[in-house]
Amino acid sequence: MLSAIKQKVFGNERLSREEGLWLLKNGSLLDLAEMAEHRRYQHNPNPKVTFVIDSNPNYTNICNVDCIFCAFYRHEGDADAYTYSVDEMIERFKKAEARGVRTVLLQGGVNPALPLEYYTEMVRRTRAEVPKIHPHFFSTSEIIGMSDVSGLSIPEVLEKLKEAGLNSIPGGGAEILSDKVKKKISSKKGTSEDWLNVMREAHKLGFKTTSTMMYGHLESDEDIVEHLEVTRALQDEYQGFTAFIPWSFKPGNTPLEKIIETYASSTRYLQMIAFARIYLDNFPHIQASWFSEGKKTGQMALHFGADDFGGTLEEENVHASANFVHTTSVKEMVDLIRDAGFTPVERDTLYNTYGEFGAGEYPTSVINSERLHIPVNANVIMPTIPNMVPLSAIGNG
C-alpha cells in the first residue's frame, strides 16, 4: 500500500479516503515528510516561507454556545464578561496600525445581544478609519449568530458584511468536522454542514477564507480523514480556501481538561502538518504554528510540508485563557524562518507579498513589535454551564 500511495503522490495524483486513512494509521513520520515535501514544492516551488504581521483581539467573551473545549467564553452577568464598543475596537486597531500591523483577525463569542449593525459598522469603520489594516473578521459561528439575531439568511448576512467591506473570514469554528465529535465537544454549535455551508456561501460571494482543524481531544483518525475529505471537496467547488491551519487542543481551564489532561505531542503535530499537505492537494498553503505548538516545533513543520509561518499575533486571548502563551516579535519571526533554512517573505491575509528578507534584513515598519494584552484572568474557575453534556457521557472518542 505504501508503495502505491507514494507512486500516486509523486505522480501528483489524489489519494482516496481509504488510502489517506491507511497512510495516517500506518505511514512513518519520515515517509510522510518525504511525500509532504514533494507536495509543498509542487504548490510553492521556492524555498520561501511567508508570514503576516497581525493581531488577534476579541470584541466580546460573552457566548451562548458553551463549547466544553473553550476556556475563553463567559456568560452575560459573569464578573469578567465584557463586550467592547465599536469605538473602543477602532481605537485598538489604530494603535495596532501604528505599530505596523497589516491584518486584524477579529473573533469573539456568539453574543445574542449584539445586532447585525454592530458587525457591519465594525467592518465599515475599519475600512474607512484604519485603511492599512485588512479586516479578517468573524468565524462561521459568529456569522450563524448574526443570522439568528437578524432573521436574515446566511447569504444575506454575508452580503451585508461584503457591502460593508469584508472580503475574507477566518476558519475558526470547524474543530473537527465530524458530527460524532461535535455532539460531544460543542453540541450547541451546530453540525459540520453548518460550518461548510457558511464557507460555501462565502466562497460563492468571492470571500477568501482559511480552513482550520483542532485535534488532540476526542477525535479518531477516521474523524481527521473525514475533516480533510469534506474540506477538500468544498475546495474543489470554488477554490475559496487560501490555507489550512491545524493546531492541537489546549485543555487548561476547560471542562474537557478533566478527561484530556495533556497536550498532543509534537510528533503528532508534525504528522498532522505532513498528512494535511499530502491529502489537501488543492490547497495552496499549509500554515505552521509557532504559537500553538512552540517555536522549535513550528520550525520543524516547515520541513514537513508547511510553507507559511502564520502571524506575529501581537494580541491573543483565547489560548491565554487556557494558560498557554507563546510570544514573539517581528524580528524573531524573521529569524526563526531564516534559521530554519528558508527565506522569510512578508505577506497579507490574501497572500499578496510585500517583500522578502535576506541575511540581516527585517521589515522596516516594525522591528520590535510589542504585544498588547487585554487583561485576562487565566486562572479563573469555569462557570457552571447549564444543560452541558455530562463528562461521564462523553467517553474517549
Q: pLDDT tens digit string along 207-229?
A: 999 999 999 888 999 999 999 99
Three cell numbers written together for 120: 457591519
CB atoms within 10 A of CB 125: 18
Termini Cα distance of the chain: 27
pLDDT of 292 reads: 76
Question: How far is residue 270's CA from residue 174's CA, in Å, rounded to a whole number?
Answer: 20
- Predicted local distance difference test score (pLDDT) of residue 196: 98
How far apart CA 66 and CA 7 sit, in angstroms, is: 45
pLDDT (0 to 100) of residue 276 = 98
Give whole-number Cα distances, 70 to 63, 203, 394, in Å: 11, 28, 16
pLDDT-flagged residues of the chain (< 70): 67-69, 73, 251-256, 261, 313-327, 364-397
For position 21, what pLDDT does the model report?
Answer: 98
What is the strand order of the sheet 134-137 is part of?
54-55, 103-106, 134-137
Confidence (pLDDT) at 381: 31
pLDDT value of position 69: 64
Taking the model in full, what pTM does it have? 0.86
SS3 letters for the chain?
CHHHHHHHHHCCCCCCHHHHHHHHHHCCHHHHHHHHHHHHHHHCCCCEEEEECEECCECECECCCCCCCCCCCECCCCCCCCECCHHHHHHHHHHHHHCCCCEEEEECCCCCCCCHHHHHHHHHHHHHHCCCCEEEECCHHHHHHHHHHHCCCHHHHHHHHHHHCCCEECCCCCCCCCHHHHHHHCCCCCCHHHHHHHHHHHHHCCCEEEEEEEECCCCCHHHHHHHHHHHHHHHHHHCCEEEEEEEECCCCCCHHHHCCCCCCCHHHHHHHHHHHHHHCCCCCEEECCHHHHCHHHHHHHCCCCCCEEEECCCCCCHHHHCCCCCCCCHHHHHHHHHHCCCEEEEECCCCCEEEECCCCCCCCCCCCCCCCCCCCCCCCCCCCCCCCCCHHHCCCC
Q: Are 256 and 68 in contact (CB under 8 A)?
A: yes
Q: Specify the pLDDT at position 316.
A: 41
The predicted structure's pLDDT at residue 253: 67
Q: Is residue 273 within 8 Å of residue 288, measured between CB atoms?
A: yes
The CA–CA distances, whole Å, from 161 to 46, 127, 138, 227 equal 36, 12, 10, 27
Please answer whether residues 276 and 284 qualify as being in contact, where contact means their C-beta atoms are separated by less than 8 angstroms.
no
Residue 45 CA to residue 199 CA, distance in Å, equals 28
